[in-house]
Every structure is written in structure tokens, then in C-alpha cells.
Structure 1
Amino acid sequence: MAPDAFLWAVGIEDTFITAPHPRTGRTLDEYELTGHYARWRDDIGLMARLGAPCARYGVPWHRVQPAPKVWSWGFVDAALDRMIALKIDPIVDLVHYGLPAWIEGAYLHPDYPRYVAEYATRLAERFHGRVKWYTPLNEPRITAWYCGRLGWWPPYRRSWSGFVALMLAICRGVVATVRALERVDPEIVPFHVDATDLFDTDDPALAPEARRRQEIVFLALDLISGRVDRRHPLWHWLLDNGADEDRLAEFLHAPLELPVIGVNLYPIFTSKRLLRDARGRLRIQMPHASGELVNKLGRLYFERYGAPLMISETADKGSAARRLDWLAQSVAAVKTLRADGVPLVGYTWWPMFALVTWAWRQGRRPLHDYLLQMGLWDLDADPQRDLARVETPLVAAYRSLVQGGADSVGPLTRPFFDPKRKRVG
């Protein structure tokens, strides 16, 4: 990527939790729930209408490989071919929370790194020279949280030791994936995407916990890039929660580069305030944030990693006016960061249209009751309208930003370029 370039992107929510909920029997395949499997051609046409040069796009591994020795590429071939034909560069999400059901124990299966590396290899070989950007796994921390700490998703662990076990297994898979991609094509750009949070507290007694939670936000990136050694703030915490020193040493011996870091941030989710309730139990509030959130996080990540950054997901929920306000605030913050020399090189409005909330899987109400309108397009909430895509004023606003290219966010002062790093475009 040239130092003065800027990538405007969109994406379609692609959470894939294929395990039926034990009480409701529901799964969580966002492509199925939003009708994307049936409408993929038209939905990709909407991307083209925006003029976006690239788009994050998830591959449903559970459909590509429904059994260990069975591969089915029809949907993926058609969708990615259409994006490429329309001059939209895919940023391929290889894993987005869920795995094929045949991988027993999910991420804790001892052969998971081998399975995911084989899958990545086959896809990269199939699109050799045509797809350059891959996300090995979207949001490692959130995956480990829901699979290992909350127990919502397989393998249903519910402890900090479960979280640590999942985090280490997930990161081993990320490393195996990147090495596999590099063997196929050294020009591939691994795009490491994680959800970010900003923790604070007004209670001095909770300050150490807020600092620990903030360090956990960075844990996946720290692990895969070889930063977790005996000096790391979480070293003893990891050991206390079941981590093995030899397993931690694996990451130190073969660290990955971070050519581009994707940060997922939302004004409704990302700010976290710790407090105690009347019974002394730890509680977390999520106050709605302003554009200053983007400023703080951009500086925090650049100071820590010194790598180019891209906003890989952001949006607000509610009325179109509220969403437009967040678009204006967040883009203004991007301009400020770039003017101050922080190499923020891209912005992704996510999702492109509404998603179905994760509560659907354990809920019992009709689908339309779980729509979360966060997109440039709404999904029609009338059950008789079959989730029609409804254009909002955000479409024209975003198209205008895309057409402006880098001019929409201003120049990058003191352009960041390290010739020792893998180039990012």
C-alpha cells in the first residue's frame, strides 16, 4: 500500500456458530439468517454501488468442508469471483467464531492447527494471485471469551482457565494459518483483526483489575507477535490459569509480523467501566462513546505495536441519524490521527446491512425480533417483506467518502513506512 493510500471497506456480518443450542436447537449462521446465501449476487452488487475498493468477506468453513475429506467450493467460488470481477478486493475472513461440527472439542481439538492450516492452504491455492488479504481468525479474544469464559459456544468452558486454554489454542491456529498462507504465496497479507476495548474505573480498588482487563485486550496480538515473556504483565496470570511455559515459548520462538492490525470498535460496546454493585459483585457498564474513542485507541495501538492500523469494524445502532453522527465523528477522528502521524490506513463500516443478534440462538422469538439495525442498508423488519434491503441516507454519505478516497480523511503526516516490514498492498 502506498503511504498516501486509504482503503474504504464494507463487510457482511458472518458469524457462524453451527452447534445447535441445547435448549432451542437454533444455530447462528448469519448468511443464512439474513438471506445472504440466496441474495449473495445482489448483496455484492450493493458493495459495487458504493464503489468500495475492498470488502471483508467471510468464508463459511462449515459449508466448504462439511466432513473431514469432503470439500464443496461452489458458493465461495461464485461469491469471490463476483467480487473480483466487480473490482472489489476480498479481505477473506477464514474463521469467524465457529468451526465445522466434525471438529470435536472445537479449538481444543489437538489437530485444530493442522485442520485450519489445510483449509487455509486449499483456499489460498484456489485463489492464488487473485486474493491477497486474509484474516486468519476474526477476534481471537472474543472467540476465547464466548467459548472459554462464558460457555456460550463450543467447547463450552466457563472459567478463566478455559479462556486461557482457548486463547492459546486459537493463537496456535493463527500461527499455523499464517505459515500456511506464506508457503502458498509470500505476497499474501495476513490481516490480524481483534475486538478492542477501553477499560476504566472510578473505583481505586478496581484499578488493578481494569489494568489487567486492558492487557487481556492485547493478549492475542502479543502472543502471536512474540511479546509474551516473563516480563509481560500477564505472564504469572497465564501460568496461574493453566498456561504451560513450553507452550508460551512456542510463540516466542516463531513470532509473526503484524503487517496490518485491524481494530473492531463500536461506540455502543467498546468503552468498559468497572464498578461494584450493592452486593460487591464486579459489574461492567458500557457507556456510549464519542469519536474520542477512535483517537484513544488509535494512539494506544500504534504506540504498542508500531504497525499500520485499519478500522476493520465500526458502526452505531439505532436511527439513521444516530448512525450518520457516528460516521461523522469517527471519520473526523481518523483525520486527526492521520494528521498526527498515526498510520490509520483504512475504515470499514460493518455491517453493510443489519445483523441478527447473537441472542437469537438461545432465544425463542421470531427472527425479525432479533434484527439489529446498524448498517448502511436496513433489513425490512416486516415479516412479510422477506428481509428486503432498505437503503438509508448512510449509503449516499458513505459513497461520497469512498469516492473521495484518501482526500476524505486527509493526508498522513510523517508517513509511516518501515522497509523491513512486509508491504501491505
Structure 2
Amino acid sequence: MPKDFLSLIKEKYNDGHYEGDQYGGAAGRDGSGLPTGAPNNFMFATGIECSYPTIDHGRTRRDLLAETGHYDRYKEDLGLVKDLGLKSLRYGLPYYAIHKGPGKYDWDFADAAMAEIKRLGITPILDLLHFGVPDWLGNFQNPELPIHFAQYAGAVAKRFPWVRFFTPINEIYVTAKLSAREGVWNEQLRDDRSFVTALKHLVAASIMATQQIATHRPDCIIVQSESAEFLHELRSDPSPEIILQNKLRFLALDLLYARHPDADVLNFLYDNGLTRTEYDWFMAGEPPGYQVMGNDYYGRNEWIVLPNGERQTSMDVLGWYNITKEYYNRYRKPVMHTETNVFEAEQAPGWLWKQWVNIMQMRQDGVPVLGFTWYSLIDQVDWDIALSRKVGKVNACGLYDLDRRPRPVADAYRLLLKEYGQITIVPHGELFEVTNEPATLKVEV
């Protein structure tokens, strides 16, 4: 009786660990172990909450870096990032405090914090505008914003030339909506024309800022963080207003990425002050750099509108996967989960694992997911009321509380990092080398 192939293999090579297998295959790595920081490494991150809008019609500044004690404890906070085993950090410098006027900057805190980030070997995703502007710029109705902010962005890129990842403006749509359509922050207006004005100024500022960054870092990677939202209307006859709102959530990215909006959205823009010349300027092409579509997702991003008009949070009906897949199909950009948390500390570990299941499903579907962010490192203050009043309520959503003691989600994140910390952005991602060459694609195919 002739020998079978396994018997012949064993005669030649003995049992297992065949010559050559040590270079990958059955004996290859499984992706476990803490992140290495290699260019192809999936980016596990956290963020330090840095919002600074004004309320009370400009009389009160909400600076979360101050309210959470980060200015005094920044070295301790950055040390916690390293101790967790993280190599990436969404980090926002206080734009309103740094940019003192045209061409005038106060770099004291920025220099100290950035030097510590560099010393610790952390890769910052540098957030340049987070819900507010300097007092001298007023608010988002100011048409001079794109020019002045672009100069600031260029100054930041020049001062910290080792930084490659940037979020020029955090959550453009949310910034415009809460400032100019819902009357919560900054200009505190409540009309469509003010909303369109704020949004076009913000998108233009982001584009101009990216162009200035690219003059110093042609290989810049732009992680555009936007809120992944959806309204579920439980009415047999859907209302035009909510149909429009579910389209307006794409508006900032449509203008940023030069994608033509739907006709009713375009009519909305024209009816509320966008000129044809401005529209053509946005549609000329997307900004320079390697563009990453970051989607922030909280369960409170999804709302159910009941037949009687009441609204309630839906908490994960569609979830990050389904909503972000819709965004991905629209823009075809690499994806990053750029923010998530829950306010209930005991529920946070379960929420973390749910978000990771969403990411794994997205990867299995072949979508390139760059990274994941638990936001934030330390607890926040008054975000349950969107910073609308200065109450001082602590939101227990951080990996650490305000005394810098770990919450249960910190242990869950450590476990996740040990299990998945060395996976690559896409399978066999180690094949590709990240170079310092600028992006050259005109059309993505």
C-alpha cells in the first residue's frame, strides 16, 4: 500500500515546525501583544478632552483642559497613556489661548506638552480647533476665520515638524449645528442661514489649514473626525425636516471631500446663503494629504422620533458599524473610530467590547480601518448637557477618573490591547511601507 503524503512529509521533515514555516504561516504571529508603534500597526488610541466653546453669549469660556486639571497634570496624564501601552493619542492644543492675534502666538503650554509627548514616544493626532475660537475672532459667523486659522495651522506644522497626523477641525457638522442652529455655543444662533454660514466657514478653514500643513508636511495624514449620527423617525409619513436632517449630517464631509450633495441639500444651501461661486470652490477638489474619515460614535448619537414628536436616545440600534458603513460607501476613505464612551462607568467595559466587535466586522468586510479611540483618557465635565451650563457634574466616561485612578474600562482596554495590539491596519499590512512622499492621487480607483 503506498504511503500517504503526510507520512512522506514526516519522513523528510519530522513532526511539525517544517523548515521555512518560521517565516510565517502556521507558525506566524497572531497579532497579540501590546502595540509596537510600527507604521502598519493598527492605531489604538485615547484622547484628552479639550473642548473650549463659549456660552452665555461669549461671557463664559468652557475650557475642559482646565476643568479636568490637565494643564497642571499634563505630564501625569501623558504618562498614563504610555502606561496603558498606547502609542497614539488624539490631542488638542488650546487654540483660543495660543492664537493671540494675526501672526501672534503663545507657545508656552504647547511647547511643554508636545515635548513630553515626543519624549514618551507617543504619536499625536493633533487636534487644531475643538468647538471654539479666540475671542478676537468672535465666532463662526466671521468670514475671516479661514484665513486666520490657516495661518495658525501652518505655524503649528512649522513649529512641530515631527507631527504627521492632524485633525484640523473636530466635528465640523456638530460645531456648526450647536453654535448656529441649536443656539448652545459661541454665536448661539438658531436659524438655517447662520448654520450654513458657520458650516461653510468651518469647511473652508479646514481646507485652507490642510493646505498650509501640507507646505510643511507634504505627507500629512488628515484624520477628519465627524459625528456618526442618525434619526429614526417612527411615523408612517416621514417628515421633510427629518429627511433633510439625515442628509445634512453628510454636508460637512460632502463639501470637504468635493462630493456633490443631494439636490434638496443643495437647494437648502442656496436658499440659506451659499453662493454658486462658493459651491464651485468647494467642488474643485479635496484637500491635500492622505485623507482618513474618522467617525465618532456614542449611543446617544442615534435618536428615535416617536409618532407624537418626542425624542429618545436609541443607544446602538444601528451602531457604529452600520452608520459608518454608510459613510464609507459614500466617501470610500480609510476609516477610524475616533471617539466613543458611555457616561455610566459600570457599563463602559461592555460598551468597549461592543465597539470592538463593530470594528472587527468592518475589517472582515474588507474596509481599511486605521484605528480605534476610547474618548477620553480622564473623566469629562458637563457633557451630559453639552457644556451648555457650568454645573460641574463629572461624567464618568474616562479610562481614569479626575483623581487619575483607573476605572474598570481601563482594565478592559489593557486586555484588548494585549489580545489585538499588534494587528496591522489591513491583513498583511506589513507588506506596505509608509514613506514621506506626498499624496499624489487625483482620482481614487
TM-score bucket (shorter structure): 0.7 to 0.9
Question: How far did 1:108 drift?
Answer: 2.2
1:271 aligns with 2:299: no
1:103 aligns with 2:118: no
Cα distance, 1:253–1:411 mapped onto 2, change above 3 Å: closer
1:9 aligns with 2:52: no
Question: How far did 1:210 drift?
Answer: 3.6
Cα distance in 2 for partners of 1:89, 1:302 equals 25
Question: How far did 1:343 drift?
Answer: 1.4
Cα distance in 2 for partners of 1:143, 1:391 equals 31
Cα distance, 1:329–1:421 mapped onto 2, change above 3 Å: farther
1:119 aligned partner, one-letter code: Y
Secondary structure in 1 matching 2:106: coil
TM value normalised by structure 2: 0.83
C-alpha contact (below 8 Å) 1:401/1:408 kept by paired residues: no
1:8-157 correspondence runs (5 A): 8-17=44-53, 19=54, 21-22=56-57, 25-104=59-138, 106-128=139-161, 130-157=162-189
Cα distance, 1:272–1:85 mapped onto 2, change above 3 Å: same
Match of 2:324 among 290, 298, 310: 298
Cα distance, 1:20–1:314 mapped onto 2, change above 3 Å: closer
Question: How far did 1:260 drift?
Answer: 0.6
Question: How far did 1:411 drift?
Answer: 6.0
1:191 aligns with 2:223: yes
Match of 1:373 in 2: 396
TM value normalised by structure 1: 0.86
1:251 aligned partner, one-letter code: F
Cα distance in 1 for partners of 2:272, 2:241 equals 16
C-alpha contact (below 8 Å) 2:55/2:185 kept by paired residues: no
Report the more deviating stretch, 325-334 or 255-264: 255-264
Match of 2:197 in 1: 165
C-alpha contact (below 8 Å) 1:338/1:413 kept by paired residues: no
Cα distance in 2 for partners of 1:410, 1:122 equals 31
Cα distance, 1:410–1:251 mapped onto 2, change above 3 Å: closer
Secondary structure in 1 matching 2:371: strand
Secondary structure in 1 matching 2:232: strand
1:319 aligns with 2:315: no
Match of 1:382 in 2: none
Match of 2:362 among 326, 329, 337: 337
Secondary structure in 1 matching 2:137: coil
Question: How far did 1:283 drift?
Answer: 4.1
Identity of aligned residues (%): 28
1:284 aligns with 2:311: yes
Secondary structure in 2 matching 1:294: helix
Cα distance, 1:302–1:3 mapped onto 2, change above 3 Å: farther
Report the more deviating stretch, 52-61 or 108-117: 108-117
Match of 2:269 in 1: 238
1:195-234 correspondence runs (5 A): 195-206=227-238, 208-228=240-260, 232-234=263-265
Cα distance, 1:328–1:364 mapped onto 2, change above 3 Å: closer
C-alpha contact (below 8 Å) 1:226/1:253 kept by paired residues: yes
2:415 aligned partner, one-letter code: S
Cα distance in 2 for partners of 1:151, 1:364 equals 16
Cα distance in 2 for partners of 1:136, 1:144 equals 15
Report the more deviating stretch, 115-124 or 391-400: 391-400
Q: Which runs of 5+ in 2 are unaligned?
A: 1-36, 433-438
Deviations 1:10-64 (A, max 9, x none): 00111012x45259x5420001101111111101111111111110000101221
2:72 aligned partner, one-letter code: A
Secondary structure in 1 matching 2:366: coil
Deviations 1:160-208 (A, max 9, x none): 1211111111111111111111112201111111111022222132254
C-alpha contact (below 8 Å) 2:184/2:388 kept by paired residues: no
Deviations 1:95-150 (A, max 9, x none): 0010000113x22222211100110011100111x100110100001100111101
Secondary structure in 2 matching 1:152: coil
Match of 2:405 in 1: 390
C-alpha contact (below 8 Å) 2:196/2:274 kept by paired residues: yes
2:340 aligned partner, one-letter code: T
Cα distance in 2 for partners of 1:72, 1:323 equals 37
Cα distance in 1 for partners of 2:412, 2:258 equals 41
C-alpha contact (below 8 Å) 2:41/2:422 kept by paired residues: no
Question: How far did 1:403 drift?
Answer: 3.6
Cα distance in 2 for partners of 1:153, 1:125 equals 31
1:174 aligned partner, one-letter code: S
C-alpha contact (below 8 Å) 1:341/1:413 kept by paired residues: no
Q: Which runs of 5+ in 1 are unaligned?
A: 380-387
Secondary structure in 1 matching 2:238: helix
